[in-house]
Structure 1
Amino acid sequence: MSNGIRGLLDCTLREGSYKTAFSLRDCARIAHALGAAGVRFVEVDVERGGGSRAPHSTSEYLRTVSTAAPAVTPGIFAMAATASLDAIGSAVAAGARFVRIGAETTELVETALPLVTAVKALGVTVAVNAMKSHTLPAEEIVAAAAELTDAGADLFYLVDSAGCMVPDTVRTLTQALVDRGITVGFHGHDNLTLAVANSLAALAGGALAVDGTLRGAGRSAGNAQLEVLAVAANKLGLLPGLDTDLLARAAEQILTPLLPTDRGVTRLDLLLGATGCHSDWIEHAHQITDRDGTRLPALLAHLARHPAEKPSLATAERLAKAAPHATPTPPASTGLPPPAP
């Protein structure tokens, strides 16, 4: 289907609202940066309950996302047991182009199926999020997913609500669903610090969509850290077309100051993982970038190509002469302040 959810879906504005009361300005900056970095699906919440601190209405957030990031497809999350069709309809009228219906696995079909049918009639993409997917045997999840897909669901999401699943389980379960012709997504929490690994396992098993949040913001231990997931997927040739460093800068410069507790991987550590550069080079690299404006990502990538060299300032300066030196200022459309070099 042309309007289906594919690739990376950001739910910072939904999951992050458990920790932070996002203003409309925050919403605009986050959506703007996500769109500029190539993220095409951004989710907000249809309900203000359940612990959300969001001070504005769903419609206000949706309109803000659409205005700040025209290339982004905005959508909502709705709990099947409590969301009203009127509220969902209002969100669709305000610009939501996909609706993800959350339901407990133990009552998945009975609570989600009537809403799937009704929401599908609104002309939007419909996904079902099987919350606490770890609590149901695989064959029962597959059977429920098949029934919901037959009823009109475009996508079935495995949801590791407790952050307790492991990659082998995620991949096997994803493959079982895909083998039944079901389009699969994955939403992970990071209680065992496996949310990124589980998301990659889902992609390897045939999932077409995975979730993340900037800096991993979210309920409990947080979600798969979007910018880390983007870098890791890029190394595997997955989720192409994303500006991973822009995502890392957005997480660090926009989101981190808003969070009461920061647990995520920093942009600097992510750059080391992305480039393969050892941390022994960091002090020397910073001295060079602070002095002559060399772009840090380009310099680290260049230093990583010389593993036999012993880290020193003199060696880094010598190698830096062959590295790209341009430091383009991000265009205003990124929504970011000028980055550190």
Structure 2
Amino acid sequence: MTKDVTILDVSLRDGSHSVRHSFTEAQVSAAAKGLNAAGVRYFEVSHGDGLGGSSLQYGLSAVDELKLIEAAAAQCTTSEVAVLLIPGIGTKQDLQNAVSAGAKMVRVATHVTEADVAAQHIALGRELGLKTVGFLMMSHMAPVEKIVEQAKLFESYGAEAVYVTDSAGAMLPPDVTARISALKNALQCDVGFHAHNNLSMAMANTVAAVEAGATFIDGSMRALGAGAGNTQTEVMVSVLEKLGYNTGIDLYKLIDTANDVIAPLMQQPQEITAGSLVLGHAGVYSSFLLHAQKAAKQFGVDERDVLMKIGELKAVGGQEDLIYEVAQSLVKA
């Protein structure tokens, strides 16, 4: 019996980290056109750190994200634009503006132990008629029981799906299986999974997630994303279909979009470098990589030492300033 899986492509959001938030309207429009033609149900468009993320701390966007959302939405006939919102970075007004620009889904993201800060944003998403999802970031940092507790909070606020998010690319397949299985048993809503490839486990972890019952799965074309990138969407579609899952996606059209639109705009290949490997090893937020490289160069220290120390400190998204403090402290040491 064929099982259905919904693929959500994050190239135009998570990939923003990799290209230093330099997406143009033309690039987003071309990618959106290809994703729509390929039959990808949802794809995410916003600053890498979500709505409102364009700032000196997180990195300034070359183009206002509302213009990018509008450009993407204009290409959609069957696909729908999703946005990420991290409470404390994005606001309720940002979400309302995104809806006006054409967004149809919101994924409200919190640290894995802080789902309670998202209640008003989840409620607003439902009120605005959006497909509304809870996104538990850095899910490797909490035991299964805590993840279940936090996922139940998301569901109680109105989330229609809850994601286990391996933001650091630190998980192994047994870690994923345990978390997804527990949520499937505890929740009535759908369960999703978002991977990073810092330990070369993104595809294996994705397969583990769907085999454990996840029905929403993230990927990015050409693996374009923070750190070593995400599960590569076009490869994932092929693998899942070989395993008997129905994605509803035209593989050739997806490959063409990945090769003709995404590959030319990439500033470097998505590969597991020294820094991205240490991200996964130390359990560090994938979007910290470029900040760590910049800080290491500025202070003349090894980016690996910076990332290992950040891992020891258990830093989370929003603590980018700590990266520079750590680099400076390594000089003094």
Name the TM-score, length of structure 1 as normaliser: 0.72
Q: How far has the Cα of 1:248 moved from its partner?
A: 2.0
Q: How far has the Cα of 1:56 moved from its partner?
A: 2.0
Secondary structure at 1:215 match in 2: helix
1:237-274 deviation per Cα after TM superposition (whole angstroms, max 9, x unaligned): 11432222322222122111111111369xxxxxxxxx
1:84-115 deviation per Cα after TM superposition (whole angstroms, max 9, x unaligned): 10111111121111110111113222x12232
Cα 1:121–1:219 change in 2 (3 A) is same
1:161-205 deviation per Cα after TM superposition (whole angstroms, max 9, x unaligned): 110111122122111111113421111100011112211211111
Aligned position for 2:103: 96
4+ residue runs of structure 1 moved beyond 6 angstroms? none
The answer as to whether partners of 1:8 and 1:239 remain within 8 angstroms in 2 is no
- Paired residue type of 1:258: L
Aligned position for 2:177: 171
Question: Of residues 102, 126, 148 in structure 1, which corresponds to 2:132?
Answer: 126
- Paired residue type of 1:138: V
Aligned position for 1:140: 146
Aligned position for 1:275: none
Aligned position for 1:44: 45
Cα distance in 1, alignment partners of residues 189 and 176 from structure 2: 15
Secondary structure at 1:8 match in 2: strand
Secondary structure at 1:86 match in 2: helix
Aligned length: 260
Aligned position for 2:275: none
Secondary structure at 1:103 match in 2: strand
Question: Of residues 214, 220, 232 in structure 2, which corresponds to 1:225?
Answer: 232
1:270-308 deviation per Cα after TM superposition (whole angstroms, max 9, x unaligned): xxxxxxxxxxxxxxxxxxxxxxxxxxxxxxxxxxxxxxx
The answer as to whether partners of 1:44 and 1:62 remain within 8 angstroms in 2 is yes
1:39-91 deviation per Cα after TM superposition (whole angstroms, max 9, x unaligned): 11011122224645532223212221122232111111011222110111111
Question: Of residues 241, 251, 258 in structure 2, which corresponds to 1:244?
Answer: 251
Report the structure number with the largest CA radius of gyration.
1
Q: Report the aligned-residue RMSD.
A: 1.9
The gaps in structure 2 that reach 5 residues or longer are 273-333
Aligned position for 1:307: none
The gaps in structure 1 that reach 5 residues or longer are 266-341
Q: Which has the higher contact order (CA 8 A, sep 6+)?
A: 2
Name the TM-score, length of structure 2 as normaliser: 0.74
Secondary structure at 1:13 match in 2: coil
Secondary structure at 2:259 match in 1: helix
- Paired residue type of 2:244: G
Cα 1:255–1:161 change in 2 (3 A) is same
Cα 1:227–1:51 change in 2 (3 A) is farther
Aligned position for 2:197: 190
Cα distance in 1, alignment partners of residues 202 and 25 from structure 2: 28
Identity of aligned residues (%): 31
The answer as to whether partners of 2:228 and 2:271 remain within 8 angstroms in 1 is no
Cα distance in 2, alignment partners of residues 170 and 239 from structure 1: 21
Aligned position for 1:23: 24
Cα distance in 2, alignment partners of residues 122 and 242 from structure 1: 28
Cα 1:225–1:247 change in 2 (3 A) is same
The answer as to whether partners of 1:126 and 1:155 remain within 8 angstroms in 2 is yes
